[in-house]
């Protein structure tokens, strides 16, 4: 079982790295599955809209809800997230070379969200890459244990990790192609 987690200190940086990674993997002919987050700024002093693109070609699903400009609570729309999970689970069942999950967040830490899909991918030998923040890293480690590997939040490093993970699963040794 191969799972990499990556962390980025800048707000929204992880989303950009994983989106670019998904593009590079697709260009290399790999079947990507999962979601990448697209944030849309909607004005100064207002929270951005959060959408996820179901890989490889959509749909786009809104996962945020507008709680008002002064709100401080969680803006995640659980129904939107579960819709994305359903799409990804269906695509994963059709076969994939890699699963990308934009964030192992509170939903996953609490046993919901993409947690079951991550488990299904790992059980079927599909390498998994997840973004995670410091608040949920320990919960990810509880879920994955010794299998989780940290990888720098860099497109090249993550791309190379995917190739190495696929080679290891295929029983190949030696350099990455």
pTM, two decimals, is 0.86
For position 63, what pLDDT does the model report? 87
Burial class (CB in 10 A: 0-12, 13-18, 19+), 173: exposed
Give, in degrees to the nearest 5, the angle at Cα 172 between 168 and 3. Answer: 10
pLDDT (tens digit per residue) in 127-171: 999 999 989 999 999 999 888 999 999 999 999 999 999 987 665
Arithmetic mean of pLDDT, 66-75 = 56
Among 127, 165, 158, CA closest to 8: 158
Model pLDDT, residue 68: 54
> For the chain, what percent of residues have pLDDT higher than 90?
62
Q: Which residues of 123-157 are buried (b: 16+ CB within 10 A; e: fewer)?
A: eeebbbbbbbeeebbebbeebbeeebeebebebee
């Amino acid at each position: 079982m191969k799972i990499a987690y990556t962390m980025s200190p800048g707000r929204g940086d992880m989303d950009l790295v994983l989106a670019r990674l998904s593009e590079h993997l697709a260009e290399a002919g790999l079947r990507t599955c999962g979601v990448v987050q697209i944030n849309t700024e909607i004005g100064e002093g207002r929270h951005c809209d959060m959408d996820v693109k179901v890989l490889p070609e959509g749909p786009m699903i809104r996962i945020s809800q507008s709680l008002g400009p002064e709100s401080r609570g969680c803006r995640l729309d659980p129904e939107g997230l579960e819709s994305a999970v359903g799409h990804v689970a269906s695509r994963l069942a059709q076969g994939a070379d890699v699963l990308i999950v934009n964030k192992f967040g509170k939903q996953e830490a609490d046993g919901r969200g993409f947690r079951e899909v991550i488990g299904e991918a790992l059980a079927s030998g599909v390498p998994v890459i997840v973004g995670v923040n410091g608040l949920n890293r320990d919960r990810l480690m509880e879920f994955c244990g010794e299998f989780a590997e940290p990888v720098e939040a860099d497109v090249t490093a993550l791309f190379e990790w995917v190739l190495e993970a696929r080679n290891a699963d295929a029983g190949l040794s030696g350099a990455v192609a």
